[in-house]
Structure 1
Amino acid sequence: MKRIYLIRHCKASGQEASAELTQEGVTQAGQLADFLEDKFIDWIVCSPYQRAISTIQPLAQRLGLPIHRDNRLRERILSSEGMPDWMDKLRKSFDDLDMKLPGGESSWEAMTRGISVMEDLVQRPEMNLVVVTHGNLMSLILKHYDSSFGYEAWSRLTNPDVYELGVTGDKVMDVKRLWE
């Protein structure tokens, strides 16, 4: 069975694309490398954001694998405008996948973008792949495979977090959380 390890980045200093990992995040990246080292990883793809790259760099260096950057794995932009009630809007976006705020991306648009990466990976010949992305996009990808995954599940995600997606043939058949 092919396995895709879907990973949320480690703790970071901010939300902008150039945000670095915090010192705690750097430590977590090392722990994540320890956790994944024996999983026979043979392909790594990640968001182009610095915090995602820094999250998987220790593992890539240990395994001697390149990090393939894919812009489709960038974080979802809920809105380009500041919103004091952004958390309420985010909650609603899990129920109304078509809701689109000014300058933002609907959940459906972000999910479609993320799933296109997953579909490409299912077709790759490698058997154990790592995908590093961000919390909102990760939760939308998981929602695609498990419709019960919503706002509450998103709110329980940790930095980092790891889910294993088991693939049989060309279909994701099993989703389980590995990081606690």
Structure 2
Amino acid sequence: MIKKVLAGATLMLLTGLLIINITGNSEKNTGKNEIDVTGDTSVEGVAISSSTKSGLEVGMQAPNFELETLSGETVKLSDLQGKKVFINFWATWCPPCKKEMPEMQKFYEQHSDEVEILAVNVTGQENSLKAVRDFSDNFKYTYPILLDKELKVTEEYMAFGLPTTYFIGTDGVVQQPRKIGPMTFDFMKEMLEKLS
């Protein structure tokens, strides 16, 4: 009889602790990203891999690269010297990327004469090149989509959380802190105005 009482009390105690733990955790939910993408849980995005590197800093020369676009053209960053450039790293399987891409399209349609958007797809992390092509065709994105098949540019720019965007001035230098997470139209406009 005493064993049954002790077993019942232990079960009630464990149940109580479980309830306290569950309700305590739900009260702590701030609505911020609870998946640690970059060491900063306020960042909205998904991780390719964890890294302790912090990415390119403001004032650094943007590393040059050459990548092929979905349409088969070659884009070399150094050829864009003298233009403002947004370099955006993304993937088709990334929900925050999907959230920002219509905003990027709208922004590109209105500001393509002032800034170049290079949407660097992390192709080495995609299911297939066809998935990237179908995604772009389905949503009719017109800004250049570059294919980082070997992930060399992604690694060089330390874009370990997606989406990640760098803001390059006409001098080829990173002029604003990188953005990890989806951008809005207004945010892109603000970044454009801050670049020289």
TM-score, length of structure 1 as denominator length: 0.33
The structure with higher relative contact order (CA 8 Å, sep 6+) is 1
- Structure showing greater radius of gyration is 2
